Amino acid sequence: MQSEKTTAAYVDSLRPAGSKRSSKRDRIVDVFLRQQGHLTADDLVDLIRKEDQRISRATVYRTLAWMEAAGIARKVDFGEGRFRFEHSYRHPRHFHLICKGCNQSMEFLSSDIEQMIEEVAEARKFTVTQAVVQLYGTCEACTTGRPATTRLASTESLFARDALRIAIATERSGREFYTRAAAMTRDARARSVFERLSTAEDDHLERLEARYKQLLAEEPDLESQPQFLFFRGAANGLFSAGVDALRNVTGDKDALMIGIRCERGSHRFFKRYGEKFEDSEGKRVFLEFADEERDHLELLIREYRILTRKDQGKGKAGA
């Protein structure tokens, strides 16, 4: 459970200027942040009433609107004819699976869907501010008997777990890519760059694996929980396509170009998913890695330019 201090700091960081504090609102926000799942306004009123009878339904509605404006709460619509609310604290944006049998909702995220959405929006010149993806149907528990899965882990933990898995696969494939590239590269400078990056990826890999272990130590049942983050191309690491491509490659420049492409994808991945956390340490680690991948990227580009100049020099000399 999160300490009150942490959520208080979180709320303070979002509290809009020119709004006065009030004990009622603080109490509502506090109760709301202690919940998980998707509450209706009425659910929240009931929860509040357990702690304080003197809070009116109107105030709860007003506070919900206030929290939404502040970015503390997100309004979600499951087509029930009323809204539900989920909080953003340590809770990245996501999509929903909604079971019509048990009225439970599950969360997931798909990089691939997000990307397709961006492509559609771009083609239509549409600026997306909010993407809603909701799959209605029947969950596993309702289809089979009723052994409802133990749903314990927070979205944040699941997100961290899956993002780390992808990151680890990426670093692993990156290490392989750079090791192979170093072995096949003739240009000495380029080779030493590949060697350096191979070592760097190895270092990242160790840190990520340590973090993954730590995560599992904190929540041992995390590994058995269902997949949350879907990211097709990255299941084997963002460099795995590059490793394949390396096989049909002859020049050092080609290897650098492949590295650039992979590294760019990798940078984007860490940046994008680092930013997905509304708040957390995971965010810090991912953004730090994003920076390092960007450094790698720049290094590769620099090296590519040098090699290109060399070739041109040769070309000119030869001509």
Partner DNA sequence: CTAGGTGCAAATAATTTGCAGAGGC
Partner DNA sequence: GCCTCTGCAAATTATTTGCACCTAG
Amino acid present at 251: G
Candidate residues 42, 77, 203, 223; the one interacting with a copy of itself per rule CB under 8 A: 77
Task: Please give the Cα distance from 74 to 46 (Å, whole number).
Answer: 19
SS3 label, residue 6: helix
Candidate residues 2, 6, 56, 138; the one interacting with a copy of itself per rule CB under 8 A: 138
> Does 136 interact with a copy of itself (rule: CB under 8 A)?
yes
User: Which residues fall within 8 angstroms of residue 143, CB to CB, at 6 or more apart?
Assistant: none
> Does 234 interact with a copy of itself (rule: CB under 8 A)?
no
| DSSP assignment string, 241-288 | HHHHHHTT--SHHHHHHHHHHHHHHHHHHHHHHHHH-SS-HHHHHHHH
Identify whether the C-beta of residue 297 lies closer than 8 Å to the C-beta of residue 317. Answer: no
Q: Which does 170 bind (CB under 5 to 8 A by kind): a copy of itself, DNA, none?
A: none
Amino acid present at 117: I
55-63, 95-103, 215-223, 252-260 -> range binding a copy of itself (CB under 8 A): 95-103
262 assigned binding-site residue: no
Q: If you search the block for the tokens 């709301």, which residue do you land on?
A: 32
Site for a copy of itself in 96-115 (CB under 8 A): 97, 99-100, 106, 108, 110, 112-113
Q: If you search the block for the tokens 């810090």, which residue do you land on?
A: 284
Q: Which two tokens stand for residue 136?
A: 């209605």
Q: Smaller CB distance to DNA: residue 21 or 125?
A: 21
> Does 230 interact with a copy of itself (rule: CB under 8 A)?
yes
Task: Please give the Cα distance from 136 to 146 (Å, whole number).
Answer: 19
> Does 71 interact with a copy of itself (rule: CB under 8 A)?
no
Q: Which does 62 bind (CB under 5 to 8 A by kind): DNA, a copy of itself, none?
A: DNA
Q: Smaller CB distance to DNA: residue 75 or 305?
A: 75
Name the CA radius of gyration of the chain, rounded: 24
SS3 label, residue 229: strand
Q: Smaller CB distance to DNA: residue 56 or 103?
A: 56
CA 252 from centroid of its chain's CA atoms: 34
99 assigned binding-site residue: yes
Site for a copy of itself in 207-226 (CB under 8 A): 226
Q: Smaller CB distance to a copy of itself: residue 2 or 143?
A: 143
Site for a copy of itself in 4-43 (CB under 8 A): none
Q: Which two tokens stand for residue 104?
A: 């439970």
Task: Please give the Cα distance from 269 to 171 (Å, whole number).
Answer: 12
Amino acid present at 49: R
Amino acid present at 43: D
SS3 label, residue 169: helix
> Can you give the binding site for DNA, defined by CB under 7 A?
18-25, 40-42, 54-59, 61-63, 65-66, 81-83
Written in H, E and C, the secondary structure of 164-223 is HHHHHHHHHHHHHHHHHHHHHCCCHHHHHHHHHHHHHHHHHHHHHHHHHHHHHHHCHHHH
Candidate residues 14, 45, 70, 117; the one interacting with a copy of itself per rule CB under 8 A: 117
142 assigned binding-site residue: yes
Candidate residues 128, 148, 152, 235; the one interacting with a copy of itself per rule CB under 8 A: 128
Binding-site annotation: residue ranges = 99, 102, 114, 139, 142
Q: Residues annotated as binding site for Zn(2+)? A: 99, 102, 139, 142
Residue ranges for the known binding site for Fe cation are: 114
- Give residues in contact with a copy of itself (CB under 8 A): 77, 79, 97, 99-100, 106, 108, 110, 112-113, 116-117, 119-121, 123-140, 143, 226-227, 230, 232
